[in-house]
Chain A
Amino acid sequence: MGILRRNNVRIIGQESGRTMILAHGFGCDQNLWRLVTPGLARHFRLVLFDYVGSGRSDLAAWQEERYTTLDGYARDVVDVCAELDLRDAVFVGHSVSAMVGVLAAAAVPDRIGSMVMVCPSPSYIDEEDYRGGFTAADIHELLDSLEANYLGWSAAMAPVIMGNPDRPELGAELAHSFCATDPDIARVFARTTFLSDSRQDLKTVTVPTLVLECEQDVIAPREVGAYVHAAVAGSRLITLAATGHCPQLSAPEATTRAITGFVEELD
C-alpha cells in the first residue's frame, strides 16, 4: 500500500499555490480542518492526511512501537512530504502535531520552510519551573475517559471505519467516527501525546514560525503559548479571541486570516 493510501492523503486547493500541510492532533482526524480549508484553499495547495491509526488511515499499518514516540508520527509527515516531493512547504500542526512538525522539519529541513503551530504544547505535565497545566494523574484520568467512551466501539464502529475508504456515500454513517478510532491505538496516541516533553526540540526550529493560541484553552494555556513563543527564536505569537483548543472550529475565519497573513508576509 502506498503512502498516500496509508495516510489517507487528500490534496485540494490551488494547484499552483504554495503547498501547505495540515496535520491534525490527538483525538480526531483531518476533518478537523473542515471549516478552514475553504478559505485556505483559495490561496494554497493543501495537503491533508490522517496519521496512521487515525481517521481513515490504514489501521493495518499501525505498529505500537513506532507510534509510542512522536518520532513515529514525524516519520508519517516525512513520508508524506517525500512521497509528494514537497519543497519549502508550510507545515500547519494542531496541538501535538506542532511538535511533530518540529521533529519533521529537523529531519527534512528542505521540505518544510515555515511552520504554524496551532495551540501547541511542548509538555503537558507541570514541573518545577514549567507549567504545562496537568499532573501525571490527570493524564491517567483521560485514559480512563477514553476507555469509558469506547465501550461500544469495537463492534459498532470498526467495520464502518476500517472498511470502504473509497465509498463517500458512507460519509453520513461516519459522522460520529471523526473522533473515534481503535481504543488501543487511541490509548497509545494519548499516552504519547500527553506524556511527551519536546521542550528541548523547540530550540532546533530555524524556520519562520507562527504560534497561534486561544484566549482560553484548557489544554494549552496562555503560559504555554508564551513559553513556545519565547523558545522559538524569531517566532510570532497571535492570540485569537477564541475559547477551547480548536480555533479552526470555534473561530475558523480568524484562524484562516492569521495563517494566510503570516504566509503572505513570508514572500
Chain B
Amino acid sequence: MSGSGPAPPPPGEAWPRIDTDVTALLEDSTEELYESAPCGYLSTLMDGTIVKVNKTLLGWLGLSREEVVYRRHFADLLTVGGKLYHETHYAPLLGMQGHVGGIALEMKVADGSRLPVLITSAVKRGTGGRPLLIRTTVFDATDRRAYEIELLRARRAAEEARHQAEADREQLREALAVLQQSLLPAGLPAVPGVQTAAYYHMASPIQLGGDFYDLFPLGDDHFAFFLGDICGKGPKAAAATSLVRYTLRTAALHGLGPEAVLSTLNSALLERYGGGDPRYCTAVFGTLESTGRSVRVLLASGGHPPALLLRADGRAEYLPTPGGLLVGAFPHASFTTIRTALHQGDTLLLYTDGLTEARTGEKSGLYGYDALQSFATELAPADPRTVIDALIRLLVSFGDGLDDDTALLALGRPRRSGTALSGTPAR
C-alpha cells in the first residue's frame, strides 16, 4: 500500500467487508451509467440534429434510437409551444451564453401524451473555442409541474381575491364617505353679522367616525350650533350620531334653551340605548343672536372639552362650562347654560378631542389644552377662516399622531359689523 491510497487500518481493526452488490456497483461502466442514468441525455450538432441520445430518454419518449439519431432535431421532440419557446428564448440564450439551465418545456411522447421536463444545455467547444456540440440533460418534471400548476392556480386565485378585496374596499370607502357626509351639514348657512368656518377630519377612510357638528337657523335672527363626539366608531356610532343630530335640532326648534336641549338629548340617548349597549356623547350646544354691535351667545356643555375664545385684543381663553356631565350616561344629568358675547374681532372655537389628544411625538405625549391655548394666543386676533386654516395645518403637522376623527367649528364677529358672512366647511 503506497502513494495516495487510504492509510492502512490501525492494528487490530480489519478493512470493512465489501459485499458483492457494492462490487457490482463499483464496476458500473460509464457507458452503462450514460445509457441508464436516471435522467435523459442528448447531444446535438450545433444545428440541433440529434447525434446521441440515451436509453432513459428514448424510453420516456417511446422512441427507438433509429427514429431519432440523425433523423430529428431537438426541437422536433418538443410540443409546438415548446418549439416556439425554444426558438425565442432557449436557442438565443444558448447562442449568447453557451449554456442554459432549468428551462421548463414539454416533450412529445410517441403515444400522444406529453412529458413535462426541465432541461439544461451546454455547448461543448473544440480547440480554438469553436462550438461543436450541444449537450442536454433532461429531467422528468411531471410531479414538479403538477405542483407548479397548483401554485400558479393558487397565485391566480390569490390575485383575483386581492383585486376583489380592493374593489370591495373602494366601494365601502365610497359608501362610508357618502354616509359620513350625510351626518355633517353640506354647508353652513349665512348668519347675519357672524362669520363661520368648519372642518372635519376623517381619520380612516373605512371607519365611520363619531364626531359631529351643525349650525342652523331657529328663526327671528336666532341660530343654533352644536359640536360633539359620540363614543365609539363605525356604523353603530354613525347611527347614534344621526339620532343625536336630529334630537338636538328638533329640541332646539321647539325653542328650548341650551341646557334643556342637552337634557332632552340625555333622555333620548338613555331611552334608545339604555339596554345592554349604552351610547353616550360629549357635546356643546349653543345659540347665537346678533344684537347690533355684538353677538349674544348662550352655551351649554355636556362633558365636552371647553370652547376657546380668541379675543380681538390678542388673548385666547377657555370658556368654563360648569357642571356638564357626559350626555346619555346618567338619568339625572344636569347642565348649566353660560352666557358670553362675541364682540368685533372675537372668534369662538369649538373642537373635539381628536385635536387635543393627538400624539405629538414628544415622549408620545398628547397635544393638550395648554399647547392649544398657546397656539390660539399666537393666532389671536383672527377671523374664523384664519383660525380653521391654521388648525388644518396643525392637524396635518401631527401626521400619524392624529389618529382620531376631529371636528372644528369657528364662529366670529367680524371687525366690520353688519354684513352677513359665512363659510363652507372645508374637508
The stretch from B79-87, B222-230, B370-378, B408-416 touching chain A is: B79-87
A 132-154 to B, binary, CB cutoff 8 A, 1 in contact else 0? 00110011111111111101000
Which residue of B75, B95, B96, B145 is within 8 Å of A148 (Cβ)?
B145
- Are the CB atoms of B84 and A145 closer together than 8 Å? yes
Partner of B81, one of A35, A142, A175, A219: A142
Q: How far is the CA of A141 from the CA of B78 in the complex (A)?
A: 11
Kindly state the separation between the CA atoms of A230 and B75 in the bound complex, as whole angstroms.
29
Contacts of A135 in B (CB 8 A): 80
A26 within 8 A of B: yes
Give 1 or 0 for each of B272-299: 1 = CB within 8 Å of chain A CB.
0000000000000000000000000000
B329 interface contact, C-beta 8 A = no
Stretch from A5-13, A15-23, A42-50, A242-250 that touches the partner: A242-250
A27 at interface, CB cutoff 8 A: yes
Provide the bound-state CA to CA distance between A264 and B103, in Å: 41
Neighbouring B residues of A242 by C-beta, 8 Å? 47
Q: Does A179 contact B (CB under 8 A)?
A: yes
Q: Are A149 and B92 in contact (CB under 8 A)?
A: no
Q: Is the CB of B84 within 8 A of A219?
A: yes
B71–chain A nearest beta-carbon distance, Å: 14
**Residues B39-80 near A (CB distance < 8 A):** 46-48, 73, 75, 79-80
How many B residues touch A, CB cutoff 8 Å?
A: 30
- Mark interface residues in B87-120 (1 if CB within 8 Å of A CB, else 0): 1110111011100000111100000000000000
Whether B105 lies near A176 (C-beta < 8 A) is: no
- Do A148 and B92 touch across chains, with their CB atoms under 8 A apart? no
Contact (Cβ within 8 A) B47 A250: yes
Say whether B88 contacts A28, CB under 8 Å.
yes
Q: Which residues of A contact B84 (CB under 8 A)?
A: 134, 138-139, 141-142, 145, 194, 218-219
Shortest CB–CB separation between residue B48 and chain A, in angstroms? 6
Q: Which residue of B lies closest to A28 (CB)?
A: B92
Say how far B393's CB is from chain A's closest CB, in angstroms. 33
B148 within 8 A of A: yes
Q: Is the interface of B mostly helix, strand, loop or mixed?
A: helix
Closest Cβ neighbor of B80 among chain A residues: A138
- Complex Cα distance A5/B17, Å? 70
A25 at the interface (CB under 8 A from B): yes
- Find the B residue at minimum CB distance from A145: B85
Closest to B106 in A: A145
A31 contacts B by Cβ under 8 Å? yes
Residues of B within 8 A of A140 (CB): 81
Q: Does A74 contact B (CB under 8 A)?
A: no
Which of B81, B89, B151 is A28 in contact with, Cβ under 8 Å? B89
Alpha-carbon separation in the docked complex, A149 to B105 (Å): 8
Do A249 and B81 have beta carbons less than 8 Å apart? no
Q: Does A227 contact B (CB under 8 A)?
A: no
Chain A: CB-nearest residue to B85? A145
The answer to whether A244 and B81 touch (CB under 8 A), given A28-B88, A218-B87, is: no
**Measured between C-beta atoms, what is the minimum distance from A129 to chain B in Å?**
21
Q: Which residues of A contact B151 (CB under 8 A)?
A: 151
Known: A141-B80, A218-B75. A146 touches B95 (CB 8 A): no
Please determine whether B89 and A244 come into contact, CB atoms closer than 8 angstroms: no
Partner of B104, one of A32, A148, A245, A250: A148
Q: Is the CB of A246 within 8 A of B80?
A: no
Interface footprint category on A? 35 or more
A244/B88 in contact, CB under 8 A: no
B152 within 8 A of A: yes
Interface residues of A in 225-257 (CB under 8 A from B): 242-246, 249-250
In the bound complex, residues from chain B placing their C-beta under 8 Å from that of A245 are 87-88, 91
A218 and B84 alpha carbons, distance in the complex (Å)? 8
User: Which of A32, A134, A147, A178 is B80 in contact with, Cβ under 8 Å?
Assistant: A134
Nearest CB of B to A125, in Å: 12
Answer yes or no: A34 CB below 8 A from chain B CBs.
yes
Min Cβ gap B86→A in Å is 8
B91 touching A176 by the CB < 8 A rule?
no
Interfacial residues of chain B within 128-155, with CB under 8 A of chain A in the complex: 145, 148, 151-152
Contact present for A144 and B89 (CB under 8 Å) = no
Residues of A within 8 A of B75 (CB): 218
Q: Mark A172-191, 1 if CB is under 8 A from B, else 0.
A: 00011011000000000000
Q: Looking at A26, A148, A250, which has the most chain B CB atoms within 10 Å of its CB? A: A148
A216/B81 in contact, CB under 8 A: no
Residue of A nearest to B104 (CB): A148
Q: With the chains together, A250 CA to B86 CA distance in Å?
A: 14
Name the 10 nearest CB pairs between A and B, nearest first.
A141-B81, A27-B88, A249-B95, A243-B47, A138-B80, A145-B85, A142-B84, A148-B104, A245-B87, A142-B81
Residues of B within 8 A of A (CB): 46-48, 73, 75, 79-89, 91-93, 95-97, 103-106, 145, 148, 151-152
Known: A151-B104, A244-B48, A246-B95. 10 other contacts (CB 8 A): A35-B95, A134-B80, A138-B84, A140-B81, A141-B82, A145-B85, A179-B89, A179-B93, A243-B73, A249-B92
- List residues of chain A with CB under 8 Å of any chain B CB: 25-28, 31-32, 34-35, 95, 134-135, 138-149, 151, 175-176, 178-179, 194, 216-219, 242-246, 249-250
- What are 24 residue pairs bridging A and B, where the CB atoms are less than 8 Å apart in the complex? A27-B92, A31-B96, A95-B88, A140-B81, A141-B80, A145-B84, A148-B145, A151-B148, A178-B93, A179-B88, A179-B89, A217-B87, A218-B75, A218-B83, A219-B84, A219-B88, A243-B47, A243-B73, A244-B47, A244-B48, A244-B87, A246-B95, A249-B91, A250-B91
